Amino acid sequence: MKILRRWVGNKLSKERWEDKFHDADNKVTLPLSKDLEENIKNLELLFKDCGDFVSRKFPVGIHKEVNMYVAYIDLMIDRRIIEESLLEQLMLQVRGVPPHMDKIRSSIYDFIRDGGIATADIKEVDTLDEAALAILSGDTIIFIDGYAKVIVVATKGWPNRGIQEPDSEVVVRGPKEGFSEALRMNTVLIRRRIRDTKLKVKQLQIGTRSRTDVALMYIEDIVRKDILEDLGKRLTDFKIDGILDSGQLEQLIEDDWRSPFPQIQATQRPDKAASAILEGRIAIIVDNTPFVLLVPTTLNNFFQSSEDYYQRWSIMSFTRMIRYVAAFFAAGVPGLYLALTDYHPSMIPTQLTMAIAASREQVPFPSVVEVVLMELAFELLREAGTRLPGPIGSTIGIVGGLIIGQAAVEAKIVSPIVVIVVAVTAISSFAIPDNALTVGFRLVKYLIIGLSSIFGLYGFLLGVLIVLIHLVSLKSFNMPYMSPFVASGINDYEDLKDSVFRLPVFMMNKRPIFSRADKRVRLRTNKKKNE
């Protein structure tokens, strides 16, 4: 992260942002004046060469005494609001007001602001920078002749994808809503699920050119204050041009950029975000992306999917255990295969050894090369499948997997057992609910393959130990990454109830360690002991 920050910093210092109109933070420095013509001139200067900038100057009042000026960006606004609530009011209704013009003239600004505009959301700003930002966010601004203040009317209405089913976190049972790209829509989706007055939405802007809206949502009395402060500090620790997705933000605020394992979780599902907030975590919503970040995160969180809590405990405990086993397989199976067949064939039952030896007889490469070759080929297939659109992508999967694999076996390039090993590895990596963690295991797999091919079973264990050491030393916002498997005595082993197995709901009556220590009880049943 330090290197990223330094790179970003160097880039920024070479930029010549300070020109006549902007300061070092890309904020507009032109002043507002009471003269309408000057304001119009400054604004048009800022928006020179912007073909989508729409403006209109018109007089108001029975005798058309006062000039007003309206500006917005085309198609970012809801035209209906402007035309019905703004212009119609100002041009027609206000004109019909009987002229006590002297009284009104002295405070025509207040008159128009308080009575002339029929929308619910009006703000008043007094710098040109905020006015420009408002125009660029989809609001409409109104200049009034004779006043150095600007009225900002909320008229946001740009085209949006709307709420659709999330494509990456699919559940069988559970809500099928997914976040969309508009910040406000995402906060609404969470608000609908937590109707608590203590749910706070703290907004800030990140990025000097993009001025992306970022919202932090948390429940005030459950969240840990130190984590909130740490997060606030990290978010202001850097100065970047623009943020296009929460992934960039994640990389700038995470604890250890060198690790292949993600330390912040991203989700597209509002119910998952709401559940995390109820546990005491903080949701970071970034404008223009449907991926919401959840902070802090432990390893256990990546193995939990929303469905785990909506279905019953026995099947879901079983599924959880399978997921953990799958994680081990995804990293360890190729290495284990190499170690056992190359160095300790006596550990495998004799018949299996004979079968493996027979199938490997005519393959020209050593085992390591076979395994690495097949793994890389599979990575290629995976990447190709992601990029190809729709039906072609799935066809390639079948074609690639079955037919090419079969052909490779018959051409004696690889042995069938290696194909099985690689297939098991790949399927296991898909069983982990959160994609981001899979990447960690995919990378670590090669380390274990390398060590196993040199040192056999001893090397396999060394590889596993190195990975475990790394995982154990990771922290996510000062929370150990491997809780609840380590140090779970802190919360009376409550966290273990939701890790490898998922105990029935009525047993999980305390929050995990993410929340404040004194606010842990979340469930109380009325069942008496002898009912």
- Contact footprint for other proteins (CB under 8 A): 226, 343-344, 346-350, 352, 455-459, 461-462, 465-466, 468-469, 472-473, 475, 478-480, 482, 485-487, 489-490
Query: What sign results for the dihedral spanned by CA atoms 68, 69, 74, 77?
Result: negative
Give the C-alpha separation, 442 to 238, whole Å. 31
* CB nearer other proteins, residue 335 or residue 480: 480
* CB nearer other proteins, residue 475 or residue 522: 475
* CB nearer other proteins, residue 343 or residue 378: 343
The sheet with strand 53-60 has its strands ordered as 53-60, 66-73, 140-144, 150-153, 122-125
How near is the Cβ of 470 to other proteins at its closest, in Å? 9
How near is the Cβ of 376 to other proteins at its closest, in Å? 26
Give the C-alpha separation, 266 to 291, whole Å. 6
Give the C-alpha separation, 206 to 215, whole Å. 10
How near is the Cβ of 320 to other proteins at its closest, in Å? 16
The secondary element (H helix, E strand) that includes residue 212 is strand 212-219
* CB nearer other proteins, residue 30 or residue 336: 336
How near is the Cβ of 454 to other proteins at its closest, in Å? 9
How near is the Cβ of 415 to other proteins at its closest, in Å? 20
Tokens of 38: 């000057």
Give the C-alpha separation, 86 to 94, whole Å. 11
If one counts every other C-beta atom within 10 angstroms of the C-beta of residue 422, the result is: 24
* CB nearer other proteins, residue 43 or residue 447: 447
SS3 sequence, 432-447? CCCHHHHHHHHHHHHH
* CB nearer other proteins, residue 414 or residue 451: 451
Backbone φ, ψ for residue 501 (5° rounding): -125, 160
Give the C-alpha separation, 175 to 269, whole Å. 9
* CB nearer other proteins, residue 243 or residue 482: 482
Tokens of 455: 């040192």
How near is the Cβ of 299 to other proteins at its closest, in Å? 11
Give the C-alpha separation, 374 to 178, whole Å. 36
- Give the three-class secondary structure for 125: strand
> Nearest to residue 422, comparing CAs of 444, 405, 441, 436?
405
How near is the Cβ of 116 to other proteins at its closest, in Å? 55
Angle value at C-alpha 258, between 256 and 259, nearest 5 degrees: 80
In sequence order, what are the residues at sequence separation of 6 or more whose Cβ sits closer than 8 angstroms to the Cβ of residue 498? Answer: 300, 304, 484, 508, 512
Angle value at C-alpha 473, between 467 and 478, nearest 5 degrees: 140
If one counts every other C-beta atom within 10 angstroms of the C-beta of residue 318, the result is: 12
* CB nearer other proteins, residue 224 or residue 442: 224
* CB nearer other proteins, residue 197 or residue 350: 350
How near is the Cβ of 352 to other proteins at its closest, in Å? 8
How near is the Cβ of 406 to other proteins at its closest, in Å? 27
How near is the Cβ of 317 to other proteins at its closest, in Å? 18
How near is the Cβ of 500 to other proteins at its closest, in Å? 11
How near is the Cβ of 483 to other proteins at its closest, in Å? 9
In sequence order, what are the residues at sequence separation of 6 or more whose Cβ sits closer than 8 angstroms to the Cβ of residue 454? Answer: none
* CB nearer other proteins, residue 468 or residue 505: 468
Tokens of 293: 């970040």
* CB nearer other proteins, residue 70 or residue 330: 330
Give the C-alpha separation, 219 to 199, whole Å. 4
Q: How far is CA 74 from CA 53, 78, 79, 153, 282, in A?
A: 6, 9, 9, 15, 35
* CB nearer other proteins, residue 186 or residue 491: 491
